[in-house]
Structure 1
């Protein structure tokens, strides 16, 4: 087991090419409310030439700095470029692959005084309540089973009036189906 150490925040640097864009404000709220309950991971850097570079917890570090923290808890590794890249990617991706049991999540959120400190807005909570209330069998009976073409997205953007006129004319000429017109223009 690795030893957790305290590091001065001025001694550390964020990963030089982090693909993740974290929500520092939400993380800062969590740190203010609960403190740091998981150490970040710092590469000593003997094999990469980048001393004290954060591989996991970059946004926790940035949130701690924003809050004016002088120190942060970390564990250290000493890995080469490939090892550093693997830790960064794994830290950012593996949690994304998981799913939630919405009922269990709702029950947990119900006991938290301020769900925004764990990243859930009031809108998110409303959506979860709607999901929990939905009887999928009753919906399927009322509306029929879900079909592939039921999963449609919406494309919406502002365009100059003359372009909108050309688009509308083209859709009309193509039989009134905007999706078919877009498909033909994109050569799909």
Structure 2
């Protein structure tokens, strides 16, 4: 069997034929996924490993599978708001005969690759970040928040924290509740070698401040002053 994943086919598979990934470490929000599926339909396939003469194991999309199972068989009786008014549930289409199933991308790979796919599918989203100004504009362009995973309070938090001066961020966080400051403020993250980290640490610690953010502000101020002085000296020598 190939080490890298090899695409085999796309198929609609009954949920009772699918096996959750053993030991899946991610804990997703099934309720949010279920709401999205009802509003948007299943816009992304599950990635499923096919083992010859063995089970179909879900590598990516385990919580989508759980949400489809939580919907249950038959007509859920729910309708959703659409741009044209109202529409049927995106899962069952309000069909009494609907049986829980999912569209799946079937692949073949070895056990080692299967683990890597499951791990990175969960981890990649954690390592990403947001341009919250762009997110705010995207959310503002919608008539409602159904199926987005966001609530009106989230939008309020994003808007307030984007426009707040630094000394008011803590106050806003207290008002809106934790962990909004950590969620909605941009983060700096990178992997470097030990020597570079030590140089970075020494540069930060050369500046006063109650935390690394304050020290970083001091370092950036120093860099800007040095660049300005160098530009002035260059003009004077021209």
Aligned counterpart, 2:121? 91
- What's the CA shift for 1:61? 0.7
Residue correspondences, number: 143
Output the aligned Cα RMSD.
2.6
> Is contact 2:39-2:146 (8 Å) kept?
no
Match of 1:134 in 2: 164
Aligned: 1:65 with 2:128:
no
TM-score (norm 1): 0.67
For structure 1, the 5+ residue unaligned runs are 140-144, 152-188
Please give the alpha-carbon distance, in whole angstroms, between the structure 2 residues aligned to 1:39 and 1:54: 11
Q: Structure 1 residues 104 and 42 mapped into 2: Cα distance closer, same or farther (>3 Å)?
A: same
Q: 2: distance between equivalents of 1:51 and 1:146?
A: 57
Of 59, 67, 70, the match for 1:55: 59
TM-score by length of 2: 0.54
**CA–CA distance in structure 2, aligned partners of residues 149 and 104 of structure 1:** 27
The 2-side partners of 1:16 and 1:56 are apart by 12
SS at match of 1:115: coil
- Larger proportion of strand: 2
SS of 2:59 mapped into structure 1: strand
The runs of at least 4 aligned residues of structure 1 exceeding 6 Å deviation read none
Match of 2:38 in 1: 32
Deviation at 1:120, TM superposition (A): 1.4
Relative to structure 1, the CA distance from residue 150 to residue 99 in structure 2 (aligned partners, 3 Å threshold; closer, same or farther) is closer
Decide which of 11, 23, 27 is 2:17's aligned counterpart. Answer: 11
